[in-house]
Structure 1
Amino acid sequence: MATQQQVSILTIGLDFDWAAANLQEKIDTAAVRAAVMKGLKTLDGVEGLTHDLYLFVPDKEERVYVGEIEKKLRERAWDGIVVGWGVRAQPDMTEVFERTVNLIKDVSPGSKLLFTGPAPDHFSAVKRNFPHLQPGKAAE
């Protein structure tokens, strides 16, 4: 039986501490942190999958945080990139979302863009795009 190629997934999102300090009136940052970590846990133990989380602080100068994201994108060839709900769902984060998506398109054009909902289930997003993957023990 042929083995499938390893799938690499990067999740990019807002730094939890930054979100707590800057978005606390808009979102329950403790609940978001718990939900994201639970969503990421659904990727643990998935055979043929590696995943990483990169959280950034958007109130740094644009060239700084964009450069940091670019460096992470260039670490490896990512098969899929999840752009977090916090970046996408907040109207005042629209410019950051646009910059992030365009950066992904330019730096990692072969990567699929994956999106989770407000209650992150990362495995569902991965499964939609890489249907050969099966849930790991952590997701069951």
Structure 2
Amino acid sequence: MPTALVIGIDPHAIPAHAMPGLDADALRATLDQELSRFAEHGIESAMTLITLDESAEPAIVTALTERPWDVVVIGGGIRKPEPLLPLFEQVVNLVRRHAPQAAVAFNTSGGDSVEAARRWV
């Protein structure tokens, strides 16, 4: 069975002023639903949601080294906001270093991580 790891930002860790109108509970529910969809497609999956502090890198490294992943999906919350460009670069390089066998995929929203992963598994 193929494996996928999704890395994103915990919606509850996003300051309200950074994303006005963000419903953290609704977004988290979408992410949890998306994680359930992986099984429907025969993909074993896990999700690591980080906070934007010093705990992010260790959490990502732990997830990446937990097992061999076939694909790592990096969420748009990390990739899209220009101020987070250094974090995005860090995540890509952590994947290269700690899960070199994994393909890297990008979703467009929290609701299409399965499709992003399926492009590579």
TM-score bin, normalised by smaller chain: 0.7 to 0.9
Q: Determine whether 1:98 maps to 2:89.
A: yes
Question: Could you state the TM-score of these two structures normalised by the residue count of structure 2?
Answer: 0.85
Using the aligned pairs only, state the percent identity.
Answer: 27
Q: Determine whether 1:66 maps to 2:57.
A: yes
Structure 1 gaps, min length 5? 1-5, 131-140
The residue that corresponds to 2:119 in the other structure is 128
Q: Determine whether 1:50 maps to 2:50.
A: no
Distance 1:93 1:116 in 2: 16
Q: Please tell me whether the aligned partners of residues 15 and 55 of structure 1 are also in contact (alpha carbons under 8 angstroms).
A: yes
Give, as a single letter, the amino acid of the residue that structure 1 aligns with 2:50: F
Structure 2 gaps, min length 5? none
Match of 2:8, SS state, is strand
* Cα separation, partners in 2 of 1:43 and 1:22, compared to 1, 3 Å: farther
Give structure 1 regions of 4+ aligned residues with deviation exceeding 4 angstroms.
none
Question: Could you state the TM-score of these two structures normalised by the residue count of structure 1?
Answer: 0.74
Q: Larger C-alpha radius of gyration, 1 or 2? A: 1
Q: Please tell me whether the aligned partners of residues 40 and 121 of structure 1 are also in contact (alpha carbons under 8 angstroms).
A: no
> Please, which moves more after superposition, 10-19 or 30-39?
30-39
Distance 2:44 2:111 in 1: 18
Distance 2:84 2:17 in 1: 11
Q: Determine whether 1:81 maps to 2:72.
A: yes
Give, as a single letter, the amino acid of the residue that structure 2 aligns with 1:88: R
